[in-house]
Amino acid sequence: MYANPIAYVFSCIFVLIAHSAMLCNIWFNGKFDEPRDIAVLGAAVIILDIAYFVVILAFKQISYVLDFLLILVLGMSIIFQSCFGKVGFDVKHYITCIVCLAACKAGYILCRDHKLLQDKKPYIYGAIGVMVLITLVFTSAENMWIEIGSFTLQPSEFIKPLFVLACATSIADQQKKHKILIFNVVYENIALFCIMAVICLVQVKSHDYGSLPTFLSIYAVGFLLRICYPKAKFSKKKLFAVIAVLVVFVLIGLKYAPDYVQHRLHVDIWSDKTGDGYQQSQALIGIANGGWFGVGPGKGFLCHVFAFDNDIVFATISEEWGLMFALMMVLTIIIITAIPLVNPARSYFHGTMSACVCAAFIVQMALNIFGSCNLIPFTGVTIPFISTGGSSLMVSGLMIGMLMAGQSPVFKEHKQKKQEDSEPAWRWKE
């Protein structure tokens, strides 16, 4: 354990107090049948907190801030999801949160050594190809999930961390330019552009337009950091040319988007409250109904609206717990993404990886919240760590592990052989 022991203890106490305060709010203001419902929920959350506090001691890290923020927001998520409609322990979401924590530590272990990942770059590209094929073969526009018992997996979600790694591992090759006609190009940049194009085509085929901005944000941040790479020379003309190409693609996409997408871009939710504007109009009514402090856990009406626990989860939390509590939840996730700014990554590789992860989290959260509030077209994407969904939580945990790896990387030095003297050590030298 590298972190300050005193800070560790106080962080544990802070998380326990925060979750206990939420449970007290349920006791005084919530809707429940028996006190046992709150007792079971509280015991499950506190046990998970304490278990994770013990587990993280086995991992040597420079800082445990991300660990405490993660268990804080996951505990909030479990309590939220267990209170929608009526207080009752949500076992399924609890299990997926445990999987999220395990995925976090897996991501931390796998991404600490950037040289190892650099050597495994072909496997990363291959894994992206496999996920794309699985998405094309086993999913469709009507059903983007693969059902495994009572759990569902969305293959396209797993492309996100792989694409982040692809962007990060391309940094070291930016000075390897090759002459093609009159242009000096980097093969890695062409490969990443092709991967991005394939991902966009797959998302369009699956009618999953809401995830496109997340992938584009990862690519854009990775591209900007490749430009800023100290050893890579990138002219301003090329930068403006790339921006122009992207603008053209966006305009073409808006022009030839399917009819239902065009309708969603221009829909008036208040004149179509029973159609395409139903979820957004109900979400806004729920936020207004909850006010700053909410109507009470389990007492809202949004639990009867489709996708209340993922697509419009921000509005559901705002109604039952209040807008103030919902904004505190959002602030916690923003702080998670701001940690790499406070404690910078130890290498350019880890810095790129962290920046891409933060961009994905911020864009995805903004799409959900602004879409629910009718500030942008409704996309139906999830809020990381808060919305239900096994794939979303697992991938979010894996990507938080990447952020942790950026804070505590491994730098393995090559062992140098000792140069033995050709003369005996005992011989006298002038």
Closest residue by Cα to residue 171 from 215, 126, 117, 213: 117
Confidence of residue 414 (pLDDT cuts 50, 70, 90): very low
| CA angle at 284 for the pair 278 and 290, rounded to the nearest 5° | 130
Of the candidates 325, 308, 300, the residue with the CA atom closest to the CA atom of residue 25: 325
Residue type at position 236: K
Domain residues of the chain, as ranges?
5-407
pLDDT for position 24: 95
Share above pLDDT 70 across residues of the chain, in percent, rounded to a whole number: 85
pTM for the complete prediction? 0.87
Listed in order, strand segments (DSSP E) in 132-211 are: 146-148, 151-153, 178-180, 183-185
Pairing of strands 151-153, 146-148: antiparallel
Q: In angstroms, rounded to a whole number, what is the distance separating the alpha carbons of residues 183 and 130?
A: 32
Residue 226: pLDDT above 90? Answer: no
User: Residue 79 pLDDT more than 50?
Assistant: yes
**Secondary structure (DSSP) of 334-379:** HHHHHHHHHS--SSHHHHHHHHHHHHHHHHHHHHHHHHHTTSS---
Per-residue pLDDT of 181-205, as tens digits, reads: 666 677 788 888 899 989 988 888 8
Tokens read off for 300: 């809202």
Give me 287's structure tokens.
Answer: 């936020």
Confidence of residue 56 (pLDDT cuts 50, 70, 90): very high
37-41, 111-115, 138-142, 238-242: least confidently modelled range = 238-242
Give the pLDDT confidence score for residue 22 in this predicted structure.
95
pLDDT in tens, 199-221: 988 888 887 888 888 999 999 88
The percentage of residues in the chain with a pLDDT greater than 90, rounded to a whole number, is 45
What are the CA-CA distances from residue 219 to residues 134, 296, 363 (Å)?
A: 22, 41, 12
Q: Kindly report, residue by residue over 377-392, the tens digit of the pLDDT.
A: 888 788 999 998 888 9
Output the CA torsion sign for 283, 288, 294, 298.
negative
Sequence-distant (6+) residues with CB within 8 A of 118 are 169, 172, 349
DSSP 8-class letter at 9 = H
pLDDT band at 130 (very low <50, low <70, confident <90, very high): very high
Say yes or no to pLDDT of 427 above 50: no
Give residue 381's pLDDT: 86
pLDDT exceeds 60 at position 175: yes
* 41 neighbors 100 (Cβ within 8 angstroms): no
How far apart CA 75 and CA 97 sit, in angstroms, is 9
In the prediction, which pLDDT does 245 show?
75
Q: What does the pLDDT read at residue 420?
A: 47
More confident residue, 430 or 11: 11
Rama region for 121: left / alpha / beta (φ>0; ψ in -120 to 50; rest): alpha
Q: Please report the pLDDT score of residue 12 as a whole number.
A: 94
Grade residue 137 by pLDDT with cuts at 50, 70 and 90: confident
How far apart CA 177 and CA 173 sit, in angstroms, is: 8
Rg (CA), the chain: 24
Tokens representing residue 32 in the block: 């429940």
Mean pLDDT of 220-241: 71
